[in-house]
A and B are shown apart, each in its own frame.
Chain A
Amino acid sequence: MIAVIDYKAGNLTSVVKALKHLGADGIVVTQDPAAVLRADKIVLPGVGHFQSTQLLADLGLTQATREAVAKGTPFLGICVGLQWLYEGSTEAPETAGLGHFGGQCERFPAVFEGAELKSPHVGWNSLENVREDSRLLAGVTLGSFVYYTHSWRAPVSADTAAATMYGGAFTAAVERGNVMGVQFHPEKSAETGLRVLQNFLAL
């Protein structure tokens, strides 16, 4: 069973549609911590405000996720779902993230290297520094394009599986053991995105 966590942060239709297209069965869209604990895989989508992740703590889903990933359940966070894996975000400083990865998510700078930087970062950007040992990005070649739409971003660290350049480098994908996240939208990133989701389903 694949638990897709619904925490009222935007639209889950596209993610579920893409997973089904890839042949995934037993998809359960849920807010139930027990379902998260039982799941073979967990997906945390999200396109909204970091504040909306507060609901995860309020519903006991943070604790359930912590226990599930500790026993090895593969976890994939998408967009805000990736950001939640970090300690927090300046978008909602009072809301704690899972803290699985170190660092804070921050807004894109308004100016970068003397030029105005548009925000949100919207569109197709390329994956750089793709880590060869990444299971999530297996078969994804350096320079592949993926679709982004976001204003906050996670810092680059040793857990970064791929970076993207926009106002400097940020984490496009993060991976340590069974815990993974992508800032881009794999469900909207054509063949490259479907490959990433397929890799996750195959874990």
Chain B
Amino acid sequence: MLTKRIIACLDVRGGRVVKGIQFVDIVDAGDPAELAHRHAAAGADEIVLLDITATHEGRGTLLDTVKRTAASLFVPFTVGGGIRSAEDAAAVFDAGADKVSINSSAIARPELIGEIGSSFGAQAVIVAIDARRGEHGVEDAEVYVSGGRKATGLRVVDWAREAEQRGAGEILLTSMDTDGMRNGFDCELTRLVSEAVQIPVIASGGAGSAAHFAEVFKAGKADAALAASIFHFGITDSRALKAEVAAAGVPMRLPC
């Protein structure tokens, strides 16, 4: 049976893992390679490394960090941040990533999705969407770029559909409203996007407990869920978390 995935996300800035609350208030959470391996050993189904400051500071992705992290990681490994061209993506794949996550650069030039996909396969392209609910709630949720700094005027569902049509392999949907609050995912928004596309949707933003994961898999129809801070500070490890989510009736990879 296909299981729901729990993905550990490492937000990296200056070679260190950090965690912010609603995209600000950054605190240090450790070394990326070390944390990635700890997560994989503890049963995380995938690892995502996001270079969170790459886009607005105009830096390239931290290839050395990627290389070091990928060296002996044998679960799927995604890298995002600062990937603006098929060449940028190729460098990240060369360093050992299996997928890239693109966000602002895909909005700026949607052709990039197909360009990376044609060389590396659709499965290697994740389109990340940062979303904030509008005045009317979930229906007019809007896409933001540049680490949540800039509104685009695009509706989340419209952009998700376009990304799929252009050949995205997965959607990584982050709710800016719930991110870092540990009060649960935005299940309503996740469901809306998941039902709008055929490709898998990874929910992100707001994980605080096993119950939140179970909820986003069931009510939110997420195929995978991503969390960062819930792991970093020893609140729980993946194995314990997955056992709890499985107990709530969600198929999980166990033992892992």
* A contacts, CB < 8 Å to B: 9-11, 13-14, 17-18, 21, 47-49, 110, 116, 118-126, 145, 147, 149-150, 165-166, 185, 187-190, 193-194
Could you tell me if B200 and A122 are in contact, using CB atoms closer than 8 angstroms? yes
Q: B198, A118: Cβ atoms under 8 Å?
A: yes
Which applies to chain B's interface (DSSP): helix, strand, loop or mixed? loop
Determine how close the nearest CB of chain B comes to the CB of A188; give it in whole angstroms.
Answer: 5
Are B169 and A145 within 8 A (Cβ)? no
| B76 contacts chain A at the CB level, 8 A cutoff | yes
- Would A124 and B253 count as touching, CB distance under 8 A? yes
Contact A194/B74 with A10-B124, A120-B199 known, Cβ cut-off 8 Å: yes
Q: Is the CB of B3 within 8 A of A193?
A: no
A143 closest partner in B (C-beta)? B1
Q: Is the CB of B93 within 8 A of A118?
A: no
* Chain B residues proximal to chain A, CB less than 8 Å: 1-5, 40, 45, 70-72, 74-76, 93-96, 98, 119-124, 169-170, 198-200, 223-224, 253, 256
User: Is the CB–CB distance between A149 and B96 below 8 Å?
Assistant: no
B74 touches A189 (CB 8 A): yes
Would A124 and B3 be within 8 Å (CB), given that A145-B253, A189-B74 are in contact? yes
Question: In the complex, are the beta carbons of A118 and B200 less than 8 A apart?
Answer: yes
Q: A11-B93, A123-B3 are in contact. List 11 more A-B contacts (CB 8 A).
A: A13-B94, A14-B98, A17-B71, A21-B72, A118-B199, A120-B199, A122-B200, A123-B5, A166-B2, A185-B76, A187-B74
For the complex of A and B, 6 pairs with smallest distance between CB atoms: A149-B123, A124-B253, A145-B253, A47-B121, A48-B121, A125-B2
